[in-house]
Structure 1
Amino acid sequence: MFTGIIEDLGIVTDLKKEFDNLHISIKSHITSELKIDQSVAHNGVCLTVVAINDDEYTVTAIKETLDKTNLRTLQINEEINLERAMKLGDRLDGHIVQGHVDQTASCTKIEELNGSWVFTFSYDSALNNMTIEKGSITINGTSLTVVNSKKDSFSVAIIPYTYEHTNFHSFKMGTIVNLEFDVLGKYVAKLLEMRK
């Protein structure tokens, strides 16, 4: 379980394909605090630490994960949002995040305002995910509030701290991001669907 509050921006140092798997090595300030078998969210994707070497660690993404997330597009030296699993009893500063990406979206508009930014994303609504105005959404692991919710698109407003301390500062038009829709909303939608 995660909160969507990004702890560090890691740097991808190595990508190794093995059969359908991708071994991803990352340099991070939190590496010294990690241990083998620990869960870490990478752009919102929960992956298990399989190796640690000095200030770098490695995780493995399988085909299922690569097919449904933006991890398949990672490049060497790319920044990646990192969050360790929450500790029981910690404050829940963001919202309940599972680290299970529902689908990807594409950045369609970036509006720079006077001291903040509004990013707009479009996604395939045929997968039955939805946003609601002022509801929660996780983008690349970052807990955010939805504005301008539509059937297949939504926007988020980004403050300077989030812009600087997550990979939002590297987004361009067309950037593919990972989305995890609000887990409570998904359960409510499923219950309503079952009642029909």
Structure 2
Amino acid sequence: MFTGIVEATGEVVSIEDADEGRRIEVAAPFSADLEGGQSVAISGACLTVEAFDAERFELFLSEETLERTYLDSIAVGDAVNLERALPADGRFDGHFVQGHVDGVGEVTHVEQVGDDWYFGFSLPDSLARYVVEKGSIAVDGISLTVADLRADEFTVAVIPATYDRTTLSEKSIGDPVHLEVDVVAKYVERLTEGYR
């Protein structure tokens, strides 16, 4: 379980294709504090630490992960958002984020208004029913609030701290983003199926 509060950004330092997937190494400021088998969200995708040292850690991306995310197109030197799993006694500041990418959208517009930023993202049809205005959504692992909603697009307002501490500052129109809708909406839909 994650909160969508990005701890740091990391840099992809190596990529190696492997049988049935891909292995990547990410340089991270908290790498020395990791343990093997620990979960880390990489731009919103929950992955497992296989090896680590004081400067970097290694992850394996299965074919399933590569098919459902845009991680098949990342390159050495790319920045990624990082968040370690929430400890049981940790402070909960964002919203319930599982690290299960529901779909991939694209940046549709970026606008600075004063100190804030407004980002628009495309919304796949399969996810639209789970997104509501003023509801929570995770974009590249960042817990954000939907400011405006249309049939195929949503907008979020981004404060300077979020813009500066995440990869949003590097995003341009057309860039892909991972989307994870609020899991509560999916459970409500499943529980009420027989009544609709």
TM-score tier, shorter chain, comes to: over 0.9
Matched-pair identity in %: 39
Q: For the residues of structure 2 that align with 1:72 and 1:152, how far apart are their CA atoms?
A: 24
Q: For the residues of structure 2 that align with 1:128 and 1:146, how far apart are their CA atoms?
A: 12
Given that 1:137 and 1:181 are in contact with CA atoms closer than 8 Å, whether structure 2 keeps it comes out as: yes
Assess, with a 3 A threshold, how the Cα gap between structure 1 residues 24 and 193 changes in structure 2: closer, same or farther. same
RMSD (Å) for aligned C-alpha atoms: 1.2
Q: Which amino acid aligns with 1:184?
A: V
Partner of 1:186: 186
**5+ residue gaps in structure 1?**
none
Q: For the residues of structure 1 that align with 2:178 and 2:83, how far apart are their CA atoms?
A: 14
Q: For the residues of structure 1 that align with 2:89 and 2:194, how far apart are their CA atoms?
A: 34
Q: Which amino acid aligns with 1:188?
A: V
* SS of match in other structure, 1:88: coil
Given that 2:32 and 2:53 are in contact with CA atoms closer than 8 Å, whether structure 1 keeps it comes out as: no
Given that 1:106 and 1:177 are in contact with CA atoms closer than 8 Å, whether structure 2 keeps it comes out as: yes
Which deviates more, 122-131 or 47-56?
A: 122-131
In the alignment, is residue 177 of structure 1 matched against residue 177 of structure 2? Answer: yes
Given that 1:129 and 1:181 are in contact with CA atoms closer than 8 Å, whether structure 2 keeps it comes out as: no
Given that 1:16 and 1:23 are in contact with CA atoms closer than 8 Å, whether structure 2 keeps it comes out as: yes
Partner of 2:88: 88
Q: For the residues of structure 1 that align with 2:137 and 2:145, how far apart are their CA atoms?
A: 6
Partner of 2:8: 8
Displacement, 1:177?
Answer: 0.4
State the TM-score, normalizing by the size of structure 1. Answer: 0.96
* SS of match in other structure, 1:148: strand
Q: Which amino acid aligns with 2:11?
A: I
Given that 1:130 and 1:151 are in contact with CA atoms closer than 8 Å, whether structure 2 keeps it comes out as: no
Q: Which amino acid aligns with 1:158?
A: V
Assess, with a 3 A threshold, how the Cα gap between structure 1 residues 108 and 155 changes in structure 2: closer, same or farther. same
Partner of 2:37: 37
Q: Which amino acid aligns with 1:187?
A: Y
In the alignment, is residue 132 of structure 1 matched against residue 125 of structure 2? Answer: no
* SS of match in other structure, 2:86: coil
* SS of match in other structure, 1:99: coil
Partner of 1:70: 70
Q: For the residues of structure 1 that align with 2:185 and 2:130, how far apart are their CA atoms?
A: 8
Following TM superposition, the consecutive aligned residue runs of length 4 or more in structure 1 with deviations greater than 6 angstroms are none
- State the number of aligned residues: 196
**5+ residue gaps in structure 2?**
none
Q: For the residues of structure 2 that align with 1:30 and 1:11, how far apart are their CA atoms?
A: 12
Residues 91-129 of structure 1, C-alpha deviation per residue, up to 9 Å, x if partnerless?
A: 210001111110010111111111111000012213565
In the alignment, is residue 109 of structure 1 matched against residue 109 of structure 2? Answer: yes
Q: For the residues of structure 2 that align with 1:164 and 1:13, how far apart are their CA atoms?
A: 21
